[in-house]
């Protein structure tokens, strides 16, 4: 029997490149999946491609806390429980030097990468507490560890994800809730290939490889891993 058979997993950003890979990895292991994201059409397309199993799509704006709360309640009404939260939603943009960065650029990165994690965790954790525990995996980035020029808002927002992960792990270490994050290097996606045509994508991290690490973190094999930031750099 697949290890996650019967477990219910929420995946935010489920229709994105990494979100699709994570949903597929979870489905293969028998998880029942709630796919969360902006557009119902793309979520349903992702859901249609999953391995056989119970899944449902929920369209929402993760920046709106009321919508996140409502979607979480809908997940509970549909599945009856929540065991796993995979915070995959996020975004990246280069920018000007910090002194030329408008508030809108800063807010966008903080919203996409940090606020989405905050809202999802805040909505889901009470349900994990009610059912005796579960697992949360957040997506930070290699760039969270060291600032880079013209990337200050992105680097700062991903650093927030690490600190949120550590704080949550400490808060719930006695509640049966494990919270970890991954620090991917450059992902091999169509968008990154188009943006960096002279790079060697064979040295990047495939979405399926990163999904395997996330799958490990929600498995019994990682039962002693809590509050960790796991580097996933590929060969770069």
Each as own residue / partner, the long-range contacts of residues 92-97 (CB below 8 Å, 24 or more positions apart, any chain) are 92/154, 93/153, 93/154, 94/150, 94/151, 94/154, 95/150, 95/151, 95/152, 95/153, 95/154, 96/150, 97/149, 97/150
Does residue 154 have an active-site annotation? yes
The active-site residue, picked from 154, 159, 181, 182, is 154
Q: Where does residue 147 fall: left (phi above 0), alpha (psi -120 to 50 degrees), or beta otherwise?
A: beta
Q: Tell me if residue 236 falls in helix, strand or coil.
A: coil
Q: Tell me if residue 118 falls in helix, strand or coil.
A: helix
CA dist 70 and 50 (Å) reads 25
Name the residues annotated as catalytic: 154
């Amino acid at each position: 029997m697949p290890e996650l058979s019967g477990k219910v997993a929420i995946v935010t950003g489920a229709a994105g490149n990494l979100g699709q890979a994570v949903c597929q990895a979870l489905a293969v292991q028998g998880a029942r999946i709630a796919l969360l994201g902006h557009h119902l059409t793309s979520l349903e397309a992702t859901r249609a491609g999953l391995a056989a199993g119970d899944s449902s799509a929920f369209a929402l704006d993760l920046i709106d806390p009321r919508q996140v709360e409502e979607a979480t309640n809908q997940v509970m009404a549909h599945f009856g429980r929540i065991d796993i939260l995979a915070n995959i939603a996020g975004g990246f943009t280069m920018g000007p030097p910090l002194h030329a960065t408008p508030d809108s650029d800063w807010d966008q990165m903080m919203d996409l990468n940090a606020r989405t994690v905050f809202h999802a965790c805040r909505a889901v954790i009470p349900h994990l507490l009610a059912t005796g525990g579960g697992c949360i995996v957040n997506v930070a980035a290699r760039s969270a560890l060291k600032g880079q020029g013209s990337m200050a808002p992105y680097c700062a927002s991903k650093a927030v994800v690490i600190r949120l992960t550590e704080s949550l792990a400490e808060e719930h270490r006695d509640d049966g809730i494990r919270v970890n994050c991954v620090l991917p290097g450059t992902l091999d996606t169509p968008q990154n290939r188009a943006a960096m045509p002279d790079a060697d994508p064979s040295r990047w991290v495939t979405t399926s490889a990163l999904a395997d690490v996330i799958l490990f973190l929600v498995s019994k094999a990682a039962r002693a891993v809590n509050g960790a930031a796991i580097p996933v750099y590929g060969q770069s």
